[in-house]
Amino acid sequence: MSKLDRFKRPTGRRGRAETDAEQVLWDNLNRIPLDGTHFRRQVEIGPYRSDFGSLRLKLLIEIDGPIHQEPAQKRHDLVRDKWLENEGYRVLRFSNQQVTTDMNSVLNLIELAIESQKRALGSRS
């Protein structure tokens, strides 16, 4: 290990591989205009980690599996989203099913959110 390795932040999720839906969305994000967004995977904001995010636009994207329908997880997601919104982030949530069966609608909603965030933040890209 080099001396610099100890300063590197760990990347990716530990103990959990990326879901198929996350990979599908990542592979399709380039179908919409992304100028000025710089989306990344596994973005850490405070105590939370988001599936995708543009820190520049303060826009986060979550891909939710079936566990997110459970009452306890729904409560956790509400608390999490509220905390992120209080930090100035906008959170978009899509189900695995939406991503795998209706990609065009998902991409359209993401594109609208990108444009909205650019206007809200006064970003010119």
Other C-beta atoms closer than 10 Å to the C-beta of 115 total 14
* Range with the poorest average pLDDT among 38-42, 66-70, 97-101, 117-121: 66-70
pLDDT in tens, 41-80: 999 999 999 999 999 999 999 998 877 778 888 999 999 9
**By C-alpha distance, which of 120, 110, 114, 55 is closest to 84?**
55
DSSP symbols for 55-115? TTTTEEEEEE-GGGGSHHHHHHHHHHHHHHHHTT-EEEEEEHHHHHH-HHHHHHHHHHHHH
Mode of pairing for the β-strands spanning 90-95 and 59-64: parallel
Check residue 112 and give its pLDDT: 97
Whether 17 shows a pLDDT value over 80: the answer reads no
The mean per-residue pLDDT over the stretch 73-101 comes to 95
The mean per-residue pLDDT over the stretch 22-51 comes to 92
